[in-house]
Amino acid sequence: MELREAQEADSTLGKVQGWLEAGSIPSGRWWQAPGRGSDILQLLVPRVLRPDVLRLVHSSVGAGHFGNNKTLHRLRGNFHWPGCRHDVELHVHCCDSCTAQKGPNQRSRAPLQQHLVEAPMERVGVDVLGPFPVTDSSNRYILVAMDYFTKWPEAFAVPDQSAATTAERLVEEMFTRFGAPAELHSDQGCNFESQLLAEVCKRLGVTKTRTTPLHPQSDGLVERFNRTLATQLAILASQHQRDWDRHLPLVLWASRSAVQESSQLTPAALMFGRELRTPVYLVFGAPPEPEEPSRTREEYYHRLRDRLLVAHDFARKAQASTGFKQKQWYDTRYRGRAFAAGEQVCVYCPERKNGLSPKLRASWRGLGKLWNGSLRWFIASGCQAGGAWWCCIKTGSRPTGPWQLLMQLSRR
């Protein structure tokens, strides 16, 4: 269709053309801006040709898929129509290529979900830190484990992060000393999701749990300790960095004897009912005992048990209070929405492939719908808990990802 024919056929531009030919413009509805020395001639684009013009100034070769302002400036250099700014914003917002590559301007943020524990070794989180420079003992990684109640840390220098090494160190160096935990929590690393570790947990009566994909915050206790551990090792290690495993026990000694903010007690006091002797005691002496020393082993046992009961009760109350404050602060930045069945969504899938750069791949995949049935993406029944919504990425009944990984597609 010729441009002039399209302008004449357009309901709005046809009226304007009639007014111009008649030399009479209705008052109160149109205005003319005085010349400012930089007047330009613009084509009035009829409605039927506007989608083509929008694609030309936004997604064509040389357009660059830029945002609202740059796309609008490019359009106004040659074209105009009433409401062109709104149409540009809608077109940019609905561009599939921009959506897949850039994602939402503001990510969703779910309310904080807390997992409070009541006793030592009820829940243990594990993770692997590294790789580091290979030490003289051929160690390259650190297997980190931490009890969620006492905050007692364990860290083992290991040569690799295989499933066999992981299971061997956990059983020989931790479970045999403190007992098997009721729950073992980790990310979805191959060593933690292996059949070997699953069989070990099954035989020891340990419930194995894991974080959701792309959400390491679900194991935040261990992730935060990893940062502390790396910082302390960086301070103590030599310049060649091949002796970091020799300093690992000293860092653990310091962490086990330091007061934790959430419980207001040291991990050693909650785990053993007493404080660890540190170099401070060697210089200034140990603090005096608050009570007379026990005369018998039985008396010592009863006193130790009573101290631990009091300490554990105090820690539970302190952690509950701290957790409540943390949730209040975290939820002030809550941003989210519910997803309804039949809604079009994109799913965040930043998988890596050999030979391809993740920076040149689209991270958001979509143009699918949420259904209550068994399609590719759907909302599972009973999936809302504590204000958080979950979406199954494939057919099944168990949620596999938080709704922060979903993004609503703009309606066309």
pLDDT higher at 103 or 31: 103
Output the pLDDT for position 216.
Answer: 75
Which of 310, 331, 352 terminates a domain? The answer is: 331
Confidence of residue 292 (pLDDT cuts 50, 70, 90): low
- For 97, 98, 99, 102, the CA distances from 105, given in Å and listed in that order, are 15, 11, 10, 8
Average pLDDT over every residue of 97-104: 76
Residues 88 and 198 in one domain: no
Strands (DSSP E) along 169-324, which ranges?
Answer: 183-186, 207-210
235 and 227 Cβ atoms separated by less than 8 Å: no
* pLDDT greater than 70 at residue 96: yes
Q: For the domain that residue 155 is a member of, what is the CATH number?
A: 3.30.420.10
Tokens coding 383: 């999936």
Residues 73 and 218 in one domain: no
Instruction: Say what the pLDDT of residue 397 is.
Output: 34
The closest alpha carbon to 20, from 38, 8, 9, belongs to 8
Task: Output the six-digit token pair for 278.
Answer: 């540190």
pLDDT at 373: 41
Q: What is the pLDDT of residue 159?
A: 96
How would residue 36 be classed by pLDDT, with cut points 50, 70 and 90? low
Query: What is the rounded distance in angstroms from the CA atom of residue 71 to the CA atom of residue 89?
Result: 9
Percent of the chain clearing pLDDT 70 (strictly above): 77
Domain boundary pick from 47, 75, 93: 93
How high is the mean pLDDT of the chain? 79
In order, the DSSP letters of 360-381 are GS--EEEEEEEESSSSSEEPPT
What is the pLDDT, as a whole number, of residue 161? 93
The answer on 262 and 161 residing in a single domain is: yes
pLDDT > 90 in the chain, percent = 34
381 vs 220 pLDDT, higher one: 220
Any idea which of 3-7, 334-338, 367-371 has the lowest mean pLDDT?
367-371
Q: How big is the chain by its Cα radius of gyration, in Å?
A: 32
Question: In terms of C-beta distances under 8 Å and separation of at least 24 residues, what long-range contacts does 38-43 make, across chains too?
Answer: 40/77, 42/76, 42/78, 42/79, 42/80, 43/3, 43/78, 43/79, 43/80
Domain that holds residue 47: 3-93
Place of tokens 């149109």: 30
From residue 195, alpha-carbon distances to 142, 162, 174, 176, 397 in Å are 21, 12, 20, 21, 22
Tell me, yes or no, whether 203 and 251 share the same domain: yes
**230 or 361, which is more confident?**
230
Residue with the bigger pLDDT between 77 and 353: it is 77
Spell out a b/e string for 298-335, using b for 16 or more CB atoms within 10 Å of the CB, else e: eeeeeeeeebbeebbeebbebbeeeeeeeeeeeeeeee
Q: Which of 43-52, 132-141, 268-277, 298-307 has the highest mean pLDDT?
A: 132-141
83 pLDDT higher than 50: yes
Q: What is the pLDDT of residues 223-268, one digit of tens each?
A: 999 999 999 999 988 888 889 999 999 999 999 999 988 888 999 9
Query: Using omega within 30 degrees of 0 as the cis cutoff, is the peptide bond preceding 131 cis?
Result: yes
Pairwise pLDDT comparison (162 vs 323), residue with the higher score:
162
Residue 277: exposure state from Cβ atoms within 10 A (0-12, 13-18, ≥19): exposed
Note whether 33 and 145 are same-domain residues.
no
Tally the domains of the chain. 3
Longest dimension (CA), the chain: 114
- Residue 266: its pLDDT value, please? 92
Q: Residue 35's pLDDT band (boundaries 50, 70, 90)?
A: low
Residue 151 within a domain? yes
Helices (H) and strands (E) in the chain, counts: 14, 11
* Tens-digit pLDDT profile for residues 129-170: 989 999 999 999 999 999 999 999 999 999 999 999 999 999
For residues 72 and 160, state if they share a domain.
Answer: no
pLDDT confidence of residue 398: 36
More confident residue, 345 or 404: 345
User: Residue 113 falls within a domain, yes or no?
Assistant: no
Same domain, 354 and 322: no
Task: Kindly state whether residue 104 falls inside one of the protein's structural domains.
Answer: no
Beta bridge pairs of residue 369 = 344
| Range with lowest mean pLDDT among 14-28, 106-120, 141-155, 184-198 | 14-28
Residue 99 lies in a domain: no
